[in-house]
Amino acid sequence: MDTRELARESRIVPRSFYSRRTADVARDLLGKILVNGPASGMIVDTEAYLGGDDLAAHSARGVTDRTRVIFGPPGHAYVYFIYGMYECLNLVTEPKDKPGCVLIRAIEPLTGIDVMQKRRPAARRIEDLASGPGKLTRALSITRAQNGADMTSGNLVVRNWKHQRQFEIEVTPRIGITKCADWPLRYVVKGNRFVSWFVSG
DNA sequence: GGTAGGATGGGCT
DNA sequence: GCCCATCCTACCC
């Protein structure tokens, strides 16, 4: 499987998909293929960050230079810099002027695995290549230069793969936050070995 | 198998 | 000045 073959067997997810309730988008992104150039993988782990009283969301304190794209039209990338070293990818949801985005936490590598391994020398197993929000941006070479990028055209897109197999979905609290820490807004492909944090039971 | 601590810099009060 | 939607290494069972 390479990216050319993947493109033949899949369609880019349209903007209307993103212009919905954030939690629904987060759930429905599972099983879709995140592509950046030659590398791609199946989304297996997501988190919803809502508007309103979700104080864990970057948009909670309103529009700033950083959070502007979260308030913009759906289907765009929100990429932010964290802990001085890593970048995280979010996909903007909800209609324009309504904040909301989905953090992509992990992918199961599909194409361009050799390229991803070069970019992630610390990963000793395929399971470690992109099993975290900072790992997958490194593996796919996604940076702040792509902040605001349109996810419905160009190198960075999400695709619907027709050979996608069925799976069960597990819902848990979000990882690594302190505010609204018990809200069940994380969506995981149940039993998948590539998720960012194993769920027992 | 497990976890504690450090790296490292931008955003916001 | 403090917080932070993380990751890796070293070290310990």
Domain with A150 in it: what CATH number? 3.10.300.10
Q: What's the total number of domains in chain A? A: 1
The model carries a pTM of 0.97
User: Residue A199 falls within a domain, yes or no?
Assistant: no
User: Residue A200 falls within a domain, yes or no?
Assistant: no
| CA pair distance A55, A61, nearest whole angstrom | 8
User: Residue A137 falls within a domain, yes or no?
Assistant: yes
Q: Which nucleotides of B are covered by protein (CB under 7 A)?
A: 7-13
Q: Say how many CA atoms lie within 13 Å of A102 toward its Cβ.
A: 33
| Contact criterion met (CB below 8 Å) for A109 and A5 | no
pLDDT reported for residue A173: 95
Whether A66 sits with its Cβ under 7 A from any strand C atom: the answer reads no
On the question of pLDDT at A198 being above 70, the answer is no
| Percent over 70 (pLDDT), chain A | 98
For A56-98, how does the pLDDT look when each residue is reduced to its tens digit (9 = 90+)? 999 999 999 999 999 999 999 999 999 999 999 999 999 999 9
User: Residue A147 falls within a domain, yes or no?
Assistant: yes
User: Residue A132 falls within a domain, yes or no?
Assistant: yes
User: Residue A141 falls within a domain, yes or no?
Assistant: yes
| CA pair distance A186, A23, nearest whole angstrom | 9
For A131-159, how does the pLDDT look when each residue is reduced to its tens digit (9 = 90+)? 999 999 999 999 999 999 999 999 999 99
Strands A169-172 and A10-12: unpaired
- In whole angstroms, B6 C1' to A6 CA is 41
For A11-35, how does the pLDDT look when each residue is reduced to its tens digit (9 = 90+)? 999 999 999 999 999 999 999 999 9
| Contact criterion met (CB below 8 Å) for A158 and A91 | yes
For A39-61, how does the pLDDT look when each residue is reduced to its tens digit (9 = 90+)? 999 999 999 999 999 999 999 99
Which range of residues forms the domain containing residue A105? 3-189
Whether A143 sits with its Cβ under 7 A from any strand B atom: the answer reads no
